[in-house]
Amino acid sequence: MQRNQNTLHVTGCQHMLRYKETPLQEILDPAVTASGIRLLVKREDLNHPHSSGNKWWKLKYNLDEARRQGKETILTFGGAYSNHIYATAAAARESGLGSIGVIRGEESFPLNPTLSFAKKCGMILQFVSRTSYRNKHSTEFIMEMNEKWNCPYILPEGGTNDLAVRGIREFGLGLKTFAFEYLCVSVGTGGTIAGLIQAMENSTHVIGFPAIKGGEKMTVDIQKWLGPVHPGNWHLEAGYHQGGYARVNRELLAFMREFEEKNGFRLDPVYTGKMMFGLFDLVHKGYFKRGSTVVAIHTGGVQGWAGIS
């Protein structure tokens, strides 16, 4: 196993959330070698012990903005196994802020590992019915949250907003210290891939792997974050969701276990595992041009294994 020592150096951080520089790790797999390409994984799963991967970058400027507004608490939304809930709870604690998680569905005991961790970080968990959760963007619901929790700083589900896209774009620009032809990333709410598309412009083709059924519809959301004028350097591979969000099957589990044995690190079962499964399928199909370099982003979320277990 070889490691490329290129790292992303973060400067000028005004917030208190720690960042650990991360390596690019080369994947020396026979299938990759036979295809004539070079595959590197940007190990953003190592950038923070709890608020890792793309979550760190999505939270970066939002934490700054919360403090700028004088807010003492961050309120956000997610399901019972949400990586975003997990990461936000840890980031708020480390940054000296309170946190509230509005959780989809009824409360059940014992709390699962994700919610148990969030609660240990000091996050207040408010469970709401699935019907109420679907109305979380309504004016009435937001007014209710503001009144109940004294006007907290509100982050949307998944953490995607303009400030999150800005943070991801900054991360993407940091990758451009070396040349590569393809950039692969998992897709949830669309904010991460949007920031990467902006950063790459037309120098690199960005491939997104949606983790949900009907992922091809994510194109509309991604274009919304990109704005009316956007590069055409990207597309989605929507056929690798393995049954839908947070669903896995034996084929995916076997692939991830074999990948970990060969390469010495773990993929997450919700996002990066599906992305890498799809990437290797494209390798086998000869999609990537021989002689090209492919970079895949490990977006963290390995804590999701606790829920799978």
- Check whether domain 3-50+161-308 has CATH 3.40.50.1100, yes or no: yes
| Among 140, 122, 127, CA closest to 79 | 127
pTM for the complete prediction?
A: 0.91
* Domain boundaries of the chain, sorted by first residue: 3-50+161-308, 54-159
What's the pLDDT score for residue 227? 84
What's the pLDDT score for residue 119? 97
Same fold, 3-50+161-308 and 54-159: yes
Torsion (CA) 286, 289, 294, 296 in degrees, nearest 10:
-40
What's the pLDDT score for residue 201? 80
| Among 51, 61, 46, 76, CA closest to 15 | 61
List, for the chain, all residue ranges whose pLDDT scores fall below the cut of 70. Answer: 1-16, 229, 307-309
CB 17 within 8 A of CB 93: no
What's the pLDDT score for residue 8? 37
Q: How far apart are CA 85 and CA 280, in angstroms?
A: 30
Instruction: Name the helix (H) or strand (E) containing 192.
Output: helix 191-200
What's the pLDDT score for residue 309? 59
Query: pLDDT tens digits, residue range 162-191?
Result: 999 999 999 999 999 989 999 999 999 999
> DSSP secondary structure string, 136-187?
TTSHHHHHHHHHHTTSPEE--GGG-SHHHHHHHHHHHHHHTTS--SEEEEEE
What's the pLDDT score for residue 307? 63
What does DSSP assign to residue 72? -
Q: How far apart are CA 39 and CA 25, in angstroms?
A: 8
- Check whether domain 54-159 has CATH 3.30.300.30, yes or no: no
| Among 118, 126, 125, CA closest to 91 | 118
